[in-house]
Amino acid sequence: MTTELEKLLESARAHLYPNYRQPELVMSHGQGVYVWDTSGKRYLDMYAGIAVNVLGHAHPSIASALHEQASKLGHMSNYFYNQPNIELAERLCRLTGMQRVLFGNSGTEANEAMLKLARHHFYSAGQPDRYRIIAFANSFHGRTLGALALTGQDKYREGFGPLPGVTHVPFGDLEAVERAMGPDVAGIIVETVQGEGGVLPAPQGFLEGLRRITEQHGALLLVDEIQTGVGRTGRFLGIHHYPTVKPDALSMAKALAGGVPIGAMLCSEKLAGALPPGSHGSTFGGNPLASKVALAVLDELEKQDLVQRSASVGAYLGERLEALGRYKAVSGARGQGLLRALELSETVDARTVVTDLREAGVLVTVAGGRALRFSPPLIITREQVDEGVAIVENVVGKLS
């Protein structure tokens, strides 16, 4: 007799495009930091849908924002203004220090917009040959061809043909950046913490150096805050840890609407004319539904002081992970706020550990090949951190 689960798995294997590596289970529902699969097994979610579900699962503010807005006005396209979108733009400008917002539906799209902004800015200024971008080895900026050209990891790029217009230099190496600069460089794009690359924070002085170099050359500094934004690192933006560095543009997505698709490219007023009407756009971008949910997420962030909690509970998670360094299977811990990595020893297969952890009831992801990445909901408590770390300790302890 085939069970309901077996039927679903069979259908998934037959119909879904097989570009992912899902395990043999189906997720059913969630509540706070926990999710359940269809068999009733409970998991502590310490990855939050890749740094997305900042309010955890099934948060009532998100549910009611969705319900209210869907019952009122769900979609109109950008032929017209809509109120939640105007309010969100104003709110984001205030929170980030930027002056203009262009909305899309994902991180990749936000980076595409930023790339087009940089190129078109110089085109409009009579410098059409100034389109090269400098990006960093080990970076991740998305998977469409434009965003993929920025992404500095061969495993994502291989097989997709030439991805021109971008020079990759080692992350943290300001001399290499200087050498790669030229009159054809439109901008430099950087993550304040390389997320997919393995949770690698920018070395001291690096972002300040990039700001200085871009200013010297009249190029733009573009910051990818898709993973680091919305409180993940203990400040609203990753770049807020560097108060002297003001980017020309930045991209946000992932956590911005707590799980409802949204992306945003923000820039300074001097770039407000770079993409004139007709030069870029999106059917869904800035729709009232996603905008209303983003406003609800930002409200909760403020009400529960979640950015500060990300800093304090994140520091606690960091301490707990560092203490696991006494096991042979662990080679170190690093991170910022509630974006953390536990680096495993060379002899350990990180993917197997993720599977073992899932079976033991904790969800994490692999980043940078050898690190377990922790990016839990920002509502996670110290007790829940303890609960998760105890399970991690048990699993890595057995490997040691």
Ligand X SMILES: *Cc1c(COP(=O)(O)O)cnc(C)c1O
387 phi and psi angles, rounded to 5 deg: -60, -45
Question: Under DSSP, is residue 298 helix (H, G, I), strand (E, B) or coil?
Answer: helix
Binding residue for ligand X, selected from 57, 121, 130, 141, defined by CB under 6 A: 141
Alpha-carbon gap, residue 201 to 84, rounded angstroms: 34
- Please tell me which residue in 103, 122, 140, 284 is annotated as part of the active site: 140
For 30-43, give the DSSP string: EEBTEEEETT--EE
Total Cβ atoms within 10 A of residue 49: 19
The footprint of ligand X on this chain (CB under 6 A) covers a number of residues equal to 15
Nearer to ligand X, 186 or 199 (CB): 199
Measured from the CB atom, the residue of 167 and 251 that comes closer to ligand X is: 251
For the bound state, the minimum distance from the C-beta of residue 369 to ligand X, rounded and expressed in Å, comes to 16
Amino acid at residue number 294 = A
Judged by CB under 6 A, which of 53, 82, 96, 108 binds ligand X?
Answer: 108
Q: Cα-Cα-Cα-Cα dihedral of 166, 167, 168, 171, to 10°?
A: -100
- Does 226 participate in binding ligand X (rule CB under 6 A)? yes
| 107 lies in the site for ligand X, by CB under 6 A | yes
Map residue 190 onto helix, strand or coil. Answer: strand
Q: How far is the CB of 310 from ligand X (least distance, A)?
A: 16
Helix (H) or strand (E) holding 46: none
> Considering only 15-23, 29-37, 220-228, 292-300, which stretch makes contact with ligand X by CB under 6 A?
220-228
Q: Taking CB under 6 A as the rule, does residue 106 contact ligand X?
A: yes
191 binding ligand X? (CB under 6 A): yes
Among 253, 330, 342, 363, binds ligand X (CB under 6 A): 253
If the CB atoms of residues 32 and 258 are measured against ligand X, the closer one turns out to be: 258
Active site residue 292: no
Asked if 140 is part of the footprint of ligand X (rule: CB under 6 A), the reply reads yes
The CB-of-85 to ligand X minimum distance in angstroms stands at: 19
224 is catalytic: yes
233 contributes a contact to ligand X by CB under 6 A = no
Of the candidate residues 45, 112, 224, 300, the single one contacting ligand X (CB under 6 A): 224
The amino acid occupying position 2 is T
Catalytic residue among 122, 236, 254, 292: 254
Q: How far is the CB of 119 from ligand X (least distance, A)?
A: 18
Residue 320 contacts ligand X per CB under 6 A? no
The tokens describing 72, both together, are 């009122």
140 is catalytic: yes
Strand bridging mode 132-136 / 100-104 = unpaired
Q: In this complex, which beta carbon is closest to ligand X, that of residue 130 or of residue 232?
A: 232
Of 211, 149, 148, the C-alpha closest to 177 is 211
Give one DSSP letter per residue of 66-104, joined into a string: HHHHHTT-----TTS--HHHHHHHHHHHHHHS-SEEEEE
Task: Read off the amino acid at residue 321.
Answer: L
Helices (H) and strands (E) in the chain, counts: 13, 17
**Which amino acid makes up residue 38?**
T
Instruction: List contacts with ligand X (CB under 6 A).
Output: 106-108, 111, 140-142, 191, 195-196, 224, 226-227, 253-254
